[in-house]
Amino acid sequence: MILIGPPGAGKGTQAAFLVDTFRIPHISSGDMLRAAVKEGSALGKQADDYMKKGALVPDDLVIAMIIERIGKPDAQSGFMLDGFPRTRPQAQALDAALTNAGVGLDVVLLIEVPDELILERITGRRSDPQTGAIYHVKFNPAPPDVAPRLVQRKDDTAEAVGARLAKYHSETTPIIPFYQQRGVLRRVDGVGTPAEVTARITSALADKS
Ligand code: AP5
């Protein structure tokens, strides 16, 4: 399964529900890159500048990271990709890797949210460094015992959001027809409460079977 959508669409929020339901690993390219930056690895050092500006990390780095990850034992019965692929070369590399491994793609979920709602969602996002849980200062406030330890991502600034949205439209939306032609694309309206979006995803997945 692949989750696609603009920055702040709710991919990470909905992924928490999906991995619980399907018992598959959540493979988020953004989370993996942030972990690499935190640990100061060679990949993290190369990725940091791109991420802070809201630019995309070069394809060769991200492709190698994800292809290696989906080859791990816990991904052999299925996995959910979140944030990858987001360029044509990434989609082609994934396609080739899945074909080589004899793995079929069940569904590509596209969570659609208009640009004008994205800024408020992203600048209000906070996350719990202990559990990885995602909150929002207005739409999903953290419990009082968790709130003091919440952190904000370096790329969740108004300036970086503009760059991230521009990249989404120029690089990622062109890969959507590729999945539509294969009959695996499911579009879900991401406007509404997280629970409403979850309900739409549930029915979009049921439609597939
Ligand atoms: P990544 O981490 O993938 O970020 P993103 O795609 O920009 O997506 P986000 O994590 O910002 O948003 P989300 O859709 O998960 O929303 P969330 O659920 O948190 O990538 C970060 C960077 O890494 C990139 O810019 C790039 O530099 C690099 N990178 C990553 N992958 C790459 C790749 N493949 N190639 C190259 N570079 C790559 O929700 C957002 C907020 O809204 C939260 O506060 C949440 O509580 C709230 N919220 C969620 N749902 C709702 C709702 N229904 N109503 C109201 N609020 C809601």
> What separation in Å is there between the alpha carbon of 179 and the centre of ligand 1?
21
- Output b/e per residue, 79-96; b: 16+ Cβ within 10 A: bbbbbbbbbeebbebbee
Separation of 96 CA from ligand 1 center, angstroms?
Answer: 26
In this prediction, residue 160 has a pLDDT band, given cuts at 50, 70 and 90, of: very high
CA 64 to chain centre: 17
What's the CA-to-centroid distance between 15 and ligand 1, angstroms? 11
Q: According to the model, what pLDDT value does residue 208 have? A: 54
Assess whether 154 carries a catalytic annotation.
Answer: no
Q: Which of 34, 121, 126, 164 is catalytic?
A: 164
CA atoms lying within 13 Å on the CB side of residue 90:
27
Q: Is 125 a catalytic residue?
A: yes
Tokens at residue 16, please?
């928490």
CA dihedral sign, ordered 186, 188, 194, 198: negative
Catalytic pick among 52, 53, 88, 153: 153
The mean of the pLDDT values for the chain is 95
Q: Which residues pair with 134 in a beta bridge?
A: 127
* Average pLDDT of span 164-172: 97
Task: Name the residue of 57, 131, 161, 197 whose CB sits within 8 Å of the most ligand 1 atoms, as the mutation to test its pocket.
Answer: 57
| Average pLDDT of the residues in 31-48 | 96
Residue 34 is a catalytic residue = no
Give the confidence band of 95 by pLDDT, cuts at 50, 70, 90: very high
Which two three-digit tokens encode residue 101?
Answer: 């491994």
Query: Residue 36 corresponds to which tokens in the numbers above?
Result: 């690499």
Q: Is 73 helix (H, G, I), strand (E, B) or coil?
A: helix
Contact 99, 29 (CB under 8 A): no
Q: What percent of the chain has pLDDT over 70?
A: 99
Residues shown for the chain: 209
The pTM for the full model equals 0.95
Q: Is the pLDDT of residue 29 over 90?
A: yes
Give the distance (Å) from ligand 1 centre to CA of residue 11.
6
Tokens 């569904």, residue located: 107
Residue of 50, 184, 160 whose CA lies nearest to 110: 184
